[in-house]
Each structure stands twice: as structure tokens, then as C-alpha cells.
């Protein structure tokens, strides 16, 4: 109890882990198994209402609505931010009619009375969400043992709060810096963070002037011609240099001027993300017109005196198996599906938001659905692959922390093992025999230590819950793709949350498929998913495999 952050907390035992987990969830560099997989609860309810309207207008089939309602029920039931148990029960009662199994032609349509009630309850949840969490934390929620089948209170608190802040329009860069600063100031008790988060959400959006320099820019229309938006101003090279001088910054050496955009946003990083999206759309139009537009890799928010990197709106897709397997050379025609999926993922990373969703889903469906199967089955298959990959990923994080920070015999042995599998085997053997995680290791990576022990002791329950979250994330991608392709809608309430969560998960799943495809056994994606399904069903039985070898 010597940690000053823990002493400041209303629930001292959970202060450090909550702050650490919040900071990790806000970091877009976090690996897939540590990233945020879900939207906030208020957004999940708005998503149900959006699907209900589309089903009513015959623009969407009811299956997506049914699944969204079922996922929202799970989220509402365990979330103190929605209010006391009686409020949560009322919300669930209005979701049950659409989440129930289909009966008759009108099945899975949200009745009008339930829809109106949910709209008002959603407003209520959104307006006081963080206040309700503050009440729960002050009331000792973080000290309560987790109920069977439910998330650890610390993890639930961190995920719920950060998801709500993301959905409110705050950027990961801004939130990560804020939490890091609070930790440095020893003001990172959950209650302290919640009070500041409430104040941040109460602040209205601000108008930012964002300057995006270009190395190449097609001829811009003259001011007053009616072809420039009111919030867009073309800056000459001289004007750009003057702005940079006023900000005490060096101007880009080679350039074709800049565009100055007036953007409403919660924070400067969110404004830069909006500017990046604008620049991508401009470059797409220029390319289709046979012209060339190339933005610099940085933008300036006037008044802040610093350049900020673009590429802020979406975590990058990474497939380490390409390097591990030396797969830089395109593969033979028999493996064309893999190359197609990789090209789709890469193209999705450089396009506009709706095209990213469509391309990412196409990569999943191409590898994991047969021509005669419904597309949604591909979502469940990649979720099964990810679920089986999850324990190994968490244990590998613990292995690295133990190897770097440990000062015991196990740490010495880890440094002599030559393969990742051998190092994970060693740590699993140590934990299974009752050896505690050294304090230095737990302090360096408390999340890995706690999760590894919990998974070894309660694998069926934890992996079933992880699978539910992963299924929801990838099915949301599928539903969003359907909205785009079949409803002509690219303005879904869930688009930003889907872009934030799904591409990273899809990349991790495809990375595992690439690894299996180039194993000596040459296992296809569909076959790997079948293996994952079988191993998940065997969890908790005498025939179950070790949790870190479910896909071996």
C-alpha cells in the first residue's frame, strides 16, 4: 500500500490498475488483445435504435437488429453507468422483444412503444453515464468480487469509461496524454479521473483552424467562386510560411501551399483526424480527375505551436507473420486468396471511412466464407480464431514482462529459451505449479499478470466472454458493411466505433490465418476456424488442450 496513487483512491486496491488500463486502452499502439473491442453502452443503445429504423423501412434484414439488441442487453446488465439495477432492468425489458427468437413475419421489429421508451432511456443514460460510474466507484464497486461470467470490476470500469469518452468525440491521443499526465501528478485515482472526465464531456466542442500543407495540390478555385466550402481556405506558399513563422515553426521545404480548415471538435487531435479524412477525400477526387494531390504527413492546429502527425484516426493493421514467414514475395496462384486479402487490408488502410469498412470485411469474407454460405458466418469464424489466439497473446505479454523485469530463476531460464513457445510453456508451468508472479513483473505489467492467472484458473468462462465481445465487434463490421452496400448509408452512429475496433482485430485474425496457411500442414482459414470451434467446445473437459496451444 505504499503506492501514492493507490492511497488517494476511494478504493485503494484498484486505483493503479484502473489508471494503467485506461491509459493502455487510449493508446492506439496497444496490441489487439489489449485494445478496446466494444462501443460505449449508450452508443450500443443508439445502434439498436438505428437498426430498428432501417428494419422498419425494409432497408435491412432483422438479423442484425436482433444480434445488436442481444449484445446491448449483455452490456447494459453489467454496466453501473446505466444506473441502478431497476433502471437497467427497465432498459433490458424494452430490448427483449427484438432480441427474442423470431416468431412470425413481424418478428424482430422493435415495437413502436419500446422504441420510444428506448430513445428516452438512451438520452437518460448518455446524460448521466459518468456520474453514475462515479457513484459506483465511491460506493465500493471496484472492491466487489466479479460475479460468475462477468468481467473483473477494474477491467469493466476502465473499458466502459474509455469507450464512453471515445464515443463523445475525444481522441485517443488526447485521452492518452491526459491520463499519463494525471498519473505523473499522482492524481490518477478512479474518482479523480471520473470527475475530470465529466468536466471534459460537459465542455462544448471548439472551433479549430487546422492547416494541412501539400507537396502537390491541383489548382484551387478562386475565393468567392462558389466552389470552395465556407470552412476551407486555400493558402499560398507565402501565406503558409507566414502562419508557420507566427507559430515559431519551420515551414515545409517543398510545398504547393496548404488548405486551412475550420473544424468543430472536442480536442486538437480530433480536429487533425477530421482534417486527415478531408485530405483523403480530396486526394481521391484528384486521382479520379487525373490530377495529383499529396498532403504532408503533418498538420498544424493554429495556436498550438506544434506539428501533429496525420494517420491518427485509425490504428494501423499489422501482420507480423509476413516477416516471420518471409512472405514478402507474392505467393503462387493456389494461395491467391491470401494475397487478395492482404491487398484488401492494405487498400482499406488508405481509403475513406466507409471504403475501409467495405474492404476490411471483404478480406474476412474472402478467406472465411464459402460461396454458398451467409456472410455472417465469416464473422463468427474469425471471432473463434481470435478467441483461441487470445490466451497465447496475453501469456506472451507476461513472458516479455517477466523476461525484462524478473530477477528470479524463472526469468533466468526465460532468457535462455530460444523460441516463444518454449518461453510460454515455462511461464505456464510456473504459474500452474503455484509460483507467484514476482512483484517487479506485476508492477511492470499488472494486466498481463492478472489475466494470465485468471485464464489458467477460469479458461472456459473467460474465453466465452471474450468470444462474445469479439463476435460483437466483427459482426458490427459486417452490419456496417451491409448498411453501406445495401442501404446506401455511410453515416451510421457506429461507424467511428467500428473503425476504431474492427480493423485491428481483423488484421490479427488474418495474421493467424497466414501463419497457419504456411505451416507444414497448410491449414486454410476455414479449417483453422473449425479447429478453433472444436477446441472452444472442449474447454473445461479432460480432453481440452492447454489454453496457449488451442490452435497448434
Q: Tell me what pLDDT residue 50 has.
A: 92
Checking if the pLDDT of 207 tops 90, the result is yes
In a domain, 11, yes or no: no
pLDDT tens digits, 425-457: 999 999 999 898 888 888 878 778 888 888 898
Q: What is the mean pLDDT of residues 276-303?
A: 89
The total number of structural domains in the chain stands at: 3
Q: Within its chain, how far is the Cα of 374 from the centroid?
A: 25
Examine the domain organization and report whether 143 and 23 are in the same domain.
yes
Q: What is the mean pLDDT of residues 178-200?
A: 91
Checking if the pLDDT of 141 tops 90, the result is yes
Examine the domain organization and report whether 296 and 396 are in the same domain.
no
- Nearest in space to 95 (alpha carbons), one of 67, 123, 56: 67
In a domain, 341, yes or no: yes
Per-residue 3-state assignment (H helix, E strand, C coil) for 159-228: HHHHHHHHHCCCCHHHHHHHHHHHHHCCCCCHHHHHHHHHHHHHCCCEEEEEEEEEEECCCCCCCCCCCC
pLDDT tens digits, 294-325: 899 899 999 999 999 887 556 667 788 877 77
Domain that residue 21 falls in: 17-202
Examine the domain organization and report whether 135 and 61 are in the same domain.
yes
Examine the domain organization and report whether 402 and 541 are in the same domain.
yes
In a domain, 8, yes or no: no
Please give the grid coordinates belonging to residue 167.
464515443
pLDDT tier for residue 222 given thresholds of 50, 70 and 90? low
Q: Tell me what pLDDT residue 383 has.
A: 98
**Dihedral angle of Cα 387, 389, 392, 393, to the nearest 10 degrees:** -90
Alpha carbon distances (Å) from 278 to 257, 285, 373, 391, 540: 16, 11, 37, 39, 50
pLDDT tier for residue 357 given thresholds of 50, 70 and 90? confident
Q: Tell me what pLDDT residue 339 has.
A: 81
In a domain, 493, yes or no: yes
280, 309, 338 — which closes off a domain?
309
Q: What is the DSSP string of 317-372?
A: P--HHHHHTT--SPPPGGGHHHHHHHHHHHHHHTS-HHHHHHHHHHHHHHHH--TT
How many helices and strands, by DSSP H and E, does the chain display? Answer: 22, 6
Q: Tell me what pLDDT residue 314 has.
A: 61
309, 324, 348 — which closes off a domain?
309
> Helices 172-184 and 153-167 meet at what angle, rounded to 10?
130
Q: Tell me what pLDDT residue 88 has.
A: 97
Question: Residue 286 burial by CB count (10 A; 0-12/13-18/19+): exposed, middle or buried?
Answer: middle
478, 376 Cβ separation under 8 angstroms: yes
Handedness of CA 453, 456, 457, 461 (dihedral sign): positive
What percentage of the chain reaches a pLDDT higher than 70? 89
In a domain, 523, yes or no: yes
411, 390 Cβ separation under 8 angstroms: no
Q: Tell me what pLDDT residue 7 has.
A: 35
3-state secondary structure of 256: coil
Checking if the pLDDT of 223 tops 60, the result is no
Q: Tell me what pLDDT residue 221 has.
A: 57
The residue written with cell numbers 507565402 in the block is 238
Checking if the pLDDT of 6 tops 50, the result is no
Handedness of CA 97, 100, 105, 109 (dihedral sign): positive
Examine the domain organization and report whether 339 and 388 are in the same domain.
yes
Please give the grid coordinates belonging to residue 179.
491520463
Q: Of the given ranges (119-128, 266-275, 284-293), which has the lowest mean pLDDT?
A: 284-293
Examine the domain organization and report whether 509 and 448 are in the same domain.
yes
Examine the domain organization and report whether 369 and 465 are in the same domain.
yes
In a domain, 12, yes or no: no
Q: What is the mean pLDDT of residues 523-528?
A: 93
In a domain, 210, yes or no: yes
Question: Which of 282-296, 394-408, 484-498 holds the top average pLDDT?
Answer: 394-408
Examine the domain organization and report whether 181 and 241 are in the same domain.
no
- HSE of 365 in the Cβ direction (CA atoms, 13 Å)? 18
Examine the domain organization and report whether 334 and 421 are in the same domain.
yes
Report the phi/psi class of residue 434: left, alpha or beta, with left for phi > 0 and alpha for psi in -120 to 50. left
Residue 381 has φ and ψ, to the nearest 5°, of -70, -45
Q: What is the mean pLDDT of residues 273-300?
A: 89
In a domain, 4, yes or no: no
- Nearest in space to 270 (alpha carbons), one of 200, 317, 320: 200
Examine the domain organization and report whether 297 and 438 are in the same domain.
no
Residue 546 CB coordination number (10 Å): 17
Examine the domain organization and report whether 396 and 344 are in the same domain.
yes
Give the pairing of strands 307-309 and 232-235.
unpaired
CA distance 258 to 248: 17
Mean predicted lDDT score pLDDT of the chain? 87
177, 202, 227 — which closes off a domain?
202
Please give the grid coordinates belonging to residue 491.
453515416
Examine the domain organization and report whether 185 and 214 are in the same domain.
no
Give the pairing of strands 307-309 and 258-265.
unpaired
3-state secondary structure of 214: strand
Q: What is the mean pLDDT of residues 236-252?
A: 93
Amino acid at each position: 500500500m505504499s503506492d501514492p496513487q493507490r492511497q488517494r483512491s476511494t478504493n485503494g486496491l484498484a486505483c493503479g490498475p484502473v489508471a494503467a488500463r485506461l491509459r493502455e486502452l487510449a493508446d492506439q499502439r496497444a496490441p489487439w488483445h489489449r485494445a478496446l473491442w466494444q462501443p460505449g453502452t449508450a452508443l450500443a443503445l443508439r445502434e439498436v435504435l438505428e437498426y430498428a429504423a432501417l428494419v422498419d423501412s425494409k432497408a435491412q434484414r432483422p438479423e442484425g437488429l436482433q444480434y445488436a439488441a442481444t449484445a446491448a442487453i449483455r452490456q447494459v446488465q453489467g454496466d453501473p453507468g446505466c444506473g441502478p439495477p431497476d433502471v437497467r432492468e427497465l432498459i433490458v425489458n424494452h430490448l427483449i422483444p427484438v432480441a427474442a427468437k423470431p416468431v412470425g413475419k413481424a418478428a424482430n421489429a422493435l415495437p413502436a412503444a419500446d422504441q420510444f421508451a428506448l430513445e428516452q432511456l438512451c438520452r437518460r443514460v448518455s446524460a448521466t453515464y459518468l456520474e453514475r460510474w462515479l457513484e459506483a466507484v465511491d460506493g465500493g464497486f471496484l472492491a466487489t468480487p466479479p460475479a460468475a461470467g462477468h468481467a473483473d470490476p477494474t477491467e469493466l470500469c476502465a473499458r466502459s469509461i474509455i469507450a464512453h469518452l471515445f464515443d463523445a468525440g475525444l481522441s485517443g491521443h488526447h485521452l492518452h496524454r491526459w491520463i499519463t499526465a494525471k498519473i505523473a501528478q499522482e492524481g490518477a485515482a478512479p474518482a479523480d479521473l471520473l470527475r475530470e472526465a465529466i468536466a471534459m464531456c460537459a465542455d462544448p466542442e471548439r472551433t479549430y483552424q487546422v492547416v494541412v500543407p501539400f507537396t502537390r495540390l491541383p489548382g484551387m478555385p478562386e475565393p468567392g467562386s462558389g466552389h470552395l466550402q465556407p470552412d476551407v481556405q486555400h493558402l499560398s506558399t507565402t501565406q503558409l510560411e507566414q502562419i508557420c513563422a507566427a507559430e515559431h515553426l519551420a515551414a515545409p521545404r517543398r510545398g504547393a501551399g496548404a488548405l486551412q480548415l475550420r473544424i468543430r471538435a472536442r480536442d486538437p487531435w480530433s480536429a487533425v483526424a477530421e482534417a486527415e479524412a478531408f485530405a483523403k477525400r480530396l486526394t481521391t477526387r484528384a486521382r479520379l480527375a487525373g490530377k495529383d494531390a499529396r498532403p504532408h504527413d503533418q498538420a498544424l492546429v493554429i495556436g498550438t505551436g506544434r506539428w501533429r502527425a496525420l494517420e491518427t484516426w485509425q490504428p494501423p493493421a499489422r501482420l507480423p507473420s509476413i516477416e516471420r514467414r518471409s512472405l514478402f514475395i507474392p505467393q503462387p496462384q493456389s494461395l491467391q486468396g491470401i494475397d487478395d486479402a492482404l491487398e484488401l487490408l492494405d487498400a482499406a488502410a488508405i481509403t475513406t471511412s466507409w471504403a475501409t469498412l467495405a474492404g476490411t470485411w471483404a478480406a474476412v469474407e474472402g478467406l472465411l466464407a464459402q460461396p454458398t454460405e451467409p456472410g455472417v458466418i465469416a464473422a463468427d469464424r474469425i471471432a473463434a480464431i481470435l478467441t483461441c489466439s487470445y490466451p497465447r497473446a496475453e501469456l506472451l505479454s507476461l513472458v516479455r514482462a517477466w523476461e525484462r523485469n524478473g530477477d528470479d530463476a524463472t526469468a533466468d531460464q526465460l532468457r535462455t529459451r530460444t523460441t516463444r513457445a518454449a518461453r510460454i510453456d515455462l511461464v505456464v508451468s510456473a504459474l500452474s505449479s503455484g509460483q507467484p508472479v514476482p512483484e517487479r513483473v506485476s508492477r511492470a505489467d499488472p494486466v498481463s499478470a492478472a489475466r494470465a492467472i485468471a485464464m489458467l484458473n477460469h479458461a472456459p468462462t473467460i474465453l466465452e466472454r471474450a468470444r462474445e465481445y469479439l463476435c460483437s465487434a466483427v459482426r458490427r463490421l459486417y452490419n456496417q458493411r451491409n448498411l453501406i452496400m445495401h442501404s446506401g448509408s455511410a453515416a451510421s452512429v457506429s461507424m467511428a466505433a467500428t473503425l476504431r475496433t474492427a480493423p485491428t482485430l481483423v488484421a490479427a485474425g488474418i495474421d493467424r490465418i497466414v501463419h497457419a496457411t504456411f505451416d507444414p500442414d497448410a491449414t486454410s482459414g476455414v479449417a483453422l476456424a473449425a479447429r478453433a470451434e472444436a477446441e472452444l467446445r472442449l474447454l473445461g473437459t479432460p480432453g481440452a488442450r492447454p489454453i496457449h496451444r488451442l490452435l497448434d
